[in-house]
């Protein structure tokens, strides 16, 4: 009984404004406002779920785990890219504005079209390109804990796309490969089992890759998993610059690969 | 803008995006500070040239600079200071130092840069003021 009383006391009326868009009926998105009795322990996703369950069943959005692991419930909350399961309503003002993630086309309400993002992820070949394939009999590709530590941070990405939404370069240039994909490429480039750095270089070290980044650093600030994509991109820039100069200092390596130094994109 | 597949693309704020959030504004100030680093470099080159012409010429140049363009010197100093500060605080991102297999904490890398910056500044100030006294 006392628990019920406590929860009743902690309820706060919050005005939640959500950007709505139905591709079948709407020419452009519009805001719809809901009055939501939010409880003390609620995260933004709980409030959106309340709207869906009690106020408006037509509201569409993605979510799954409710514990900042699946990366599917990213939204703009008061203009900030946020995992809605990772932000408490109690830390927000009495009026909250929720929009779909910026820098992505809106498919419906809070659902964005992520096809372009998936294509960019695939373009950096985010998997181990081993020097030579091992058969099952030959065993596993082994690695020391110290070698794992070099890239472990970059494996934590949950593809929530908050970094793409925070990046002003992404807003101005849709062709930019983007923070998450470049961080993922860096993760594999640092992996001692991987030998695919040159294979990724065409995309990663291109103008649409690392050189499009002007180091705003917003991607790292909004990342809920502390992946720090800005760091990955800057380190890749340094490595790519080294590669470029190595082409001049070691021309016999270019001959082996059939490349001319001028072929660099930096 | 509605696409043929029904998706809606919101037009980006092409010119005002950097005023929307503190982090974007700080970034633009860092970029703008480069302009003042350029101004500072030009003043420095002019100053070195005047120095090569003799002490009197150099003193006249610095006095003229301070008397007529003191406001530019103050603004340039503030922006150049901000430029150095804003780049030093992001150095750990480009310099992932490791010591005995462990990642060096970002504050140590930033702190080392700041201390080195301070020592260099004091050293140059010392040379400048002592040189003037002799």
The pLDDT tens digits for B93-129 are 998 888 888 889 999 999 999 999 999 999 998 887 8
Q: A251 vs A130, A240, A258, A260, CA distance in Å? A: 25, 16, 10, 8
pLDDT value of position A9: 60
User: Is it the case that residue A164 has pLDDT exceeding 50?
Assistant: yes
Q: Domain boundary at A60, A81, A112, which?
A: A112
Q: Is A30 helix (H, G, I), strand (E, B) or coil?
A: strand
pLDDT band at residue A263, thresholds of 50, 70 and 90? very low
User: By residue range, what is the domain housing residue A154?
Assistant: 115-263
CB–CB contact A217 B93 (8 Å): yes
User: Is it the case that residue A2 has pLDDT exceeding 50?
Assistant: no
Q: What is the DSSP string of A162-193?
A: HHHHH-HHHHH-TT---HHHHHHHHHHHH-TT
Tell me the nearest-neighbour CA distance from B93 into chain A, angstroms.
Answer: 4
Which residues on B lie below 8 Å from A29 (Cβ)? 8, 10
Same domain as A164, residue A67: no
Cβ–Cβ under 8 Å, residues A202 and A216: no
Same domain as A144, residue A252: yes
Residue B27 is nearest to which of A146, A216, A220, comparing CB atoms? A216
Residue B93 is nearest to which of A103, A168, A231, comparing CB atoms? A231
**Lowest-confidence pick of A74-78, A227-231, B4-8:** B4-8
Same domain as A147, residue A90: no
pLDDT band at residue A257, thresholds of 50, 70 and 90? low
Domains of chain A: total = 2
Closest chain A CA to residue B19:
A168
Which residues on A lie below 8 Å from B103 (Cβ)? 149
Cα gap A64→A158, rounded to integer Å? 13
Which residues on A lie below 8 Å from B109 (Cβ)? none
Cβ–Cβ under 8 Å, residues A100 and A111: yes
What mean pLDDT comes out for the span A15-25? Answer: 97
- What is the Cβ-side half-sphere exposure of residue A169, based on CA atoms within 13 angstroms? 21
CB–CB contact B94 A218 (8 Å): no
Residue B94 is nearest to which of A79, A172, A234, comparing CB atoms? A234
Which residue(s) pair with A14 in the sheet?
A36
**Lowest-confidence pick of A20-24, A129-133, A163-167:** A129-133
Output the CATH code of domain B1-69.
1.20.1300.10
Cβ–Cβ under 8 Å, residues A18 and A59: yes
Cβ–Cβ under 8 Å, residues A235 and A205: no
pLDDT value of position A260: 46
Same domain as A188, residue A225: yes
pLDDT in tens, A74-108: 999 999 999 999 999 999 999 999 999 999 999 99
Q: Domain boundary at A112, A130, A157, which?
A: A112
Same domain as A102, residue A135: no
pLDDT value of position B23: 95
CB–CB contact B12 A171 (8 Å): yes
Does A234 contact B at CB distance below 8 Å? yes
Q: Which of A163, A171, A229 to mutate to test the interface with B (most CBs of B within 10 A)?
A: A171
CB–CB contact A102 B10 (8 Å): yes
Cα gap B53→B81, rounded to integer Å? 29
Q: Domain boundary at A86, A112, A138, which?
A: A112
Crossing angle between the packed helical segments B106-133 and B55-88, to the nearest 10 degrees: 170
Same domain as A125, residue A98: no
Closest chain B CA to residue A165:
B12
User: Is it the case that residue A5 has pLDDT exceeding 60?
Assistant: no
Same domain as A144, residue A64: no
Same domain as A196, residue A84: no
Same domain as A252, residue A150: yes
User: Is it the case that residue A36 has pLDDT exceeding 50?
Assistant: yes
CATH of residue A89's domain is: 3.10.20.30
CB–CB contact B101 A28 (8 Å): no
- ipTM of this complex prediction, to 2 decimal places: 0.85
Pairs of residues, one from chain A and one from chain B, whose beta carbons lie less than 8 Å apart? 72
Cβ–Cβ under 8 Å, residues A185 and A246: no
Same domain as A186, residue A233: yes
Q: Is A128 helix (H, G, I), strand (E, B) or coil?
A: coil
CATH of residue A191's domain is: 1.10.1060.10
**Lowest-confidence pick of A55-59, A81-85, A134-138, A156-160:** A134-138
């Amino acid at each position: 009984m006392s628990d019920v009383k406590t929860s009743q006391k902690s309820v706060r009326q919050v005005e939640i404004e959500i950007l709505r868009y139905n591709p079948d009926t709407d020419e452009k998105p519009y805001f719809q406002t809901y009055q939501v009795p939010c409880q003390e322990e609620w995260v933004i996703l709980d409030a959106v779920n309340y709207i869906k369950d009690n106020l408006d069943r037509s509201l569409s959005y993605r979510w799954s785990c409710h514990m900042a692991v699946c990366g599917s419930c990213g939204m703009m909350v008061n203009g900030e890219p946020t995992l809605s399961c990772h932000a408490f309503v109690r830390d927000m003002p009495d009026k909250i504005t929720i929009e779909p993630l910026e820098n992505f086309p809106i498919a419906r309400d809070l659902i964005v079209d992520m096809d372009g993002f998936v294509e960019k992820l695939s373009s950096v070949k985010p998997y181990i390109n081993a020097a030579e394939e091992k058969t099952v009999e030959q065993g596993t590709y082994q690695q020391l804990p110290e070698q794992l530590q070099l890239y472990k941070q970059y494996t934590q990405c949950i593809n929530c796309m908050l970094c793409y939404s925070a990046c002003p370069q992404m807003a101005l240039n849709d062709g930019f490969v983007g923070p998450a994909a470049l961080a993922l490429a860096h993760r594999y480039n640092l992996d001692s089992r991987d030998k695919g750095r040159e294979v990724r270089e065409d995309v990663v070290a291109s103008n649409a890759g690392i050189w499009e980044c002007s180091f705003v650093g917003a991607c790292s600030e909004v990342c809920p998993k502390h992946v720090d994509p800005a760091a990955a991109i800057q380190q890749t820039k340094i490595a790519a610059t080294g590669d470029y100069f190595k082409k001049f200092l070691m021309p016999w390596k270019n001959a082996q690969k059939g490349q001319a130094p001028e072929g660099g994109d930096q | 803008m509605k696409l043929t597949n029904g998706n809606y693309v919101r037009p980006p704020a092409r010119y005002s995006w950097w005023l929307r959030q503190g982090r974007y504004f700080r970034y633009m100030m860092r970029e703008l500070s480069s302009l003042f680093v350029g101004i500072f470099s030009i003043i420095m080159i002019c100053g070195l040239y005047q120095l090569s012409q003799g002490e009197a010429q150099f003193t006249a140049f610095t006095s003229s600079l301070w008397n007529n363009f003191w406001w530019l010197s103050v603004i340039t100093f503030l922006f150049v200071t901000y430029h150095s500060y804003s780049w030093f605080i992001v150095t750990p991102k480009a310099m992932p130092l490791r010591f005995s297999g462990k990642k060096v904490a970002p504050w140590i890398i930033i702190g080392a840069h700041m201390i080195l910056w301070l020592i260099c500044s004091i050293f140059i100030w010392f040379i400048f003021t002592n040189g003037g006294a002799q």
